[in-house]
Chain A
Amino acid sequence: MRIPCPYCGERDIHEFAYLGDATVSRPDPARNDAVQAFYEYVYLRDNPAGSFQELWYHAAGCHSWLVVTRDTRTHAIFGARLASREAS
């Protein structure tokens, strides 16, 4: 599998480390239901068949965290962007 790192270019999957769902975001710890929200954030994951946005880390490359869009059925990769919402 090859992942197109927006900085380094297309690279072999062995250069990357997988984290998981990129669509979940860390809850506000101040909210009233923080424990439940964190429980869901840490443990509960959808496993959709099809297009999925997931976090990969370019460990052997530029050390960027990426949001990769991948088809979980075919491993087809539709694109990748830097995860940092505001890359400097």
Chain B
Amino acid sequence: MSDLALKPLSAFRGHLAFTGMSEASGAGVTLEVRDDLAMAIVIARKGRLAALAENVCQTYGIDLPAGPKRVAAGSLAFIGTGPGQFLAVEQGGDALTFASRLAGALGDAASISDQSASRAVLRVSGPRVRGVLAKGLAIDLHPSVFRPGDAALSSIALIGAHLWQLDERPTYEISVFRSLAGSFAEFIWSSAAEYGVTIDNP
């Protein structure tokens, strides 16, 4: 019934309005909702990691990272999430077909689980962003330790979180389970408000 065509709802819908927002606006931290990312878990089949790496390299020009790193080419990135496991992230593509496109390209070297809808991703940047994340994340983000291209699976304020650093500004993208978007937004807000927050929706 095409007259019912459904539209996706942003996981952050209704969760980015806070009391005291106007007085706390500022450039300390900038938030941007990333609803334009298609995602899938890619896991090498038994004994097929080398074949998978070969396929990914030939198809996408990406060298699969051996550790928790993000390697990108164009709009596509692979992020290491565990031994032989990756999160593939595509910016701006069709989320509904991403997993099947990947499966077609990677053949039987990997199993693929569609995750496009499962995560809520916030891009956080600005001069005070490390201070904000330190309030919930027990990982050292000092520039000498955690650099652009680095990624980590951990938890932020008891919320399971996957983050990766994009640039030295610094800019991070943080992915949490979709159902936790509200709690996560609350944490970011309450931790960042003292530094000034700008919400920059795409």
Query: Do A and B come into direct contact in the complex, CB within 8 Å?
Result: yes
A12 part of interface (Cβ distance < 8 Å): yes
Asked if A77 lies at the interface with its beta carbon under 8 angstroms from chain B, I say: no
Q: How far is the CB of B63 from chain A (nearest CB, A)?
A: 18
Shortest C-beta distance, A87 to chain B (Å), equals 5
Q: How many residues of A contact B (CB 8 A)?
A: 16
- Determine which of B67, B68, B83 lies in contact with A87 in the assembled complex, contact meaning CB atoms within 8 Å: B83
B83 pairs with A84, CB closer than 8 A: yes
Distance in angstroms between the alpha carbons of A63 and B67 in the assembled complex? 14
In the complex, B49 has a CB within 8 A of chain A: yes
Contact indicator B155/A7 (Cβ below 8 Å): no
| CB of B44 within 8 Å of the partner chain | yes
Q: Is the CB of B160 within 8 A of A88?
A: no
Q: A12-B138, A60-B153, A88-B44 are in contact. Are A7 and B84 (CB under 8 A)?
A: no
The answer on a CB contact under 8 Å between B85 and A62 is yes
Closest residue of chain B to A87, judged by CB?
B83
Proximity string of chain B (46-90) to chain A, C-beta cutoff 8 Å, 1 when within and 0 when not: 111100000000000000000110000000000011111100000
Query: Which 6 residue pairs spanning A and B have beta carbons closest together?
Result: A62-B82, A12-B138, A60-B155, A88-B84, A87-B83, A61-B153
Interface residues of A (CB under 8 A from B): 7-9, 11-12, 14-15, 60-64, 82, 84, 87-88
Residues of chain B whose beta carbon lies under 8 Å from any beta carbon of chain A = 44-49, 67-68, 80-85, 138-139, 152-155, 160
Besides A61-B153, A64-B82, A88-B48, 20 more A-B contacts (Cβ < 8 Å) are: A7-B83, A8-B68, A8-B153, A8-B154, A9-B152, A11-B138, A11-B154, A12-B138, A14-B138, A15-B155, A60-B160, A61-B154, A62-B68, A62-B83, A62-B85, A84-B83, A87-B83, A87-B84, A88-B45, A88-B49
What are 13 A-B contacts with C-beta separation under 8 Å?
Answer: A7-B67, A7-B82, A8-B68, A8-B154, A11-B139, A14-B155, A15-B154, A60-B153, A61-B153, A62-B81, A62-B85, A63-B82, A88-B46
